[in-house]
Structure 1
Amino acid sequence: MMRTSIFKGERISLTALHKEDLPHIVKWHQDATFLRLLDAVAAKPKTLQEIEKWYENNRNSNNGYLFGIRDHEEQLLGYVELDGILWNQRNGWLSIAIGADHQGKGLGKEAMQLLLRFAFDELNLHRVQLTVFENNDRAIRLYESLGFTKEGAHREFLYRDGKNYDMFLYGLLRREWDQTK
């Protein structure tokens, strides 16, 4: 049986992120909608220097991985992170960001499938987890379609536009991932 590539999918690939990619990421970090779904901190445009610092911290990490999401023409579409890995517990945190021009095309699902394959099959992790705000319906549908289980909530964690939102914790175990293959 031929082994499926851990980095290449039908429409996208996970690749190294390069310094030349950072100006694209800076553009995404100028978009308030993008920033408000990505993080609970106040939406604030990021400078190239701030993105460079984030990039360097990831490159020098012993407990995380950062990949660019690219189409097969090598255009950067977004990025995925697997970080906060506790090696002795075989647990890690996932996050994904897709540039606004590329959202809603199913690319996030394929990117997450590749990242999960890397996490479970290459790194031999037992559990991966993530958080998502309750007002991010698209992301919640994505995570649940991949087999993630809602494990809890930080009630009224986020306050945006005059309303409180919960932050949900989702987890996926290796055996659950194996059942989706």
Structure 2
Amino acid sequence: MMIQFVQLTEPNLNVLKTLNQWENDPALMGLTHPVQSEAELRKPKNVSINDLANRLTYETIYLIYTDDQLIGEMNYIIDPSHLYKKEPKTAWIGIVIGEHKEQSKGIGYAAMNYLEKQIKTNNIKRIELGVFAFNKRAHRLYQKLGYREIGRIEDFTWWQGKMWPDIRMEKYL
């Protein structure tokens, strides 16, 4: 399996279609964005080409391919307002392996290593992320990569009948 990472610089309809498919996948919806109720979780989300273009003005996005198939995306933002620890020159990161058959194959690990190298190349010394407490697989991955917990925000997101905390983690590069 060949893994490839490609920076998204121009929004395009094929990528947008896949991103919207993942945004509306019930198995993924609660993993990527906080929600406050089951109703909100079930509400369809459709990002427009303009929304994607706007994201590219403040966010660096990389697409993840295996054998020329788009299977995920990762991104980072520098110094967003939602950082738990307000330390300048911090990258907030996100990653989604959207294709279920490609999960648990080490792609997330490879993608995170690639993203960290890109961030470091831009002279950013710290990364922060949030992982929902029920997402044990992602939490283990981040720990394996050297991220450490710096705090929790209780009652942050709804999943499977209850509210869960967001675990905030950091890593210095």
Q: TM-score, normalised by structure 2?
A: 0.83
1:57 aligns with 2:92: no
Q: Secondary structure at 2:76's aligned position in 1?
A: strand
Distance change in 2, residues 1:24/1:93 (3 Å): same
Q: In the TM superposition, what are the counterparts of 1:88-167 in structure 2 within 5 Å?
A: 89-99=88-98, 100-120=100-120, 122-167=121-166
The 8 Å contact of residues 75 and 94 in structure 2, kept in 1 or not, is answered as yes
Distance change in 2, residues 1:51/1:136 (3 Å): farther
Higher relative contact order (CA 8 A, sep 6+): 2
Deviation at 1:26, TM superposition (A): 1.6
Count of residues in Structure 1 that have an aligned counterpart in Structure 2: 158
Deviation digits for residues 58-113 of structure 1 (CA, Å, limit 9, x no counterpart): 2222xx31110112x32111000111446x92111000011133212111110011
| Residue number in structure 2 paired with 1:172 | 171
| Residue number in structure 1 paired with 2:25 | 31
The 8 Å contact of residues 78 and 89 in structure 2, kept in 1 or not, is answered as no
The 8 Å contact of residues 157 and 165 in structure 2, kept in 1 or not, is answered as yes
Q: Distance in 2 between matches of 1:51 and 1:144?
A: 34
Q: Secondary structure at 1:172's aligned position in 2?
A: strand
Q: TM-score, normalised by structure 1?
A: 0.79
Q: Secondary structure at 1:57's aligned position in 2?
A: helix
1:79 aligns with 2:70: no
Task: Give the RMSD, CA atoms, in angstroms.
Answer: 1.9
Unaligned 5+ segments in structure 2 are 81-86
| Residue number in structure 2 paired with 1:21 | 15
Unaligned 5+ segments in structure 1 are 1-9, 175-181
> What stretches of structure 1 move > 4 A for 4+ residues in a row?
none
**Identity of paired residues, percent?**
27
Deviation at 1:51, TM superposition (A): 4.3
Q: Secondary structure at 2:109's aligned position in 1?
A: helix
Q: Distance in 2 between matches of 1:54 and 1:69?
A: 20
The 8 Å contact of residues 31 and 45 in structure 1, kept in 2 or not, is answered as no
The 8 Å contact of residues 7 and 60 in structure 2, kept in 1 or not, is answered as no
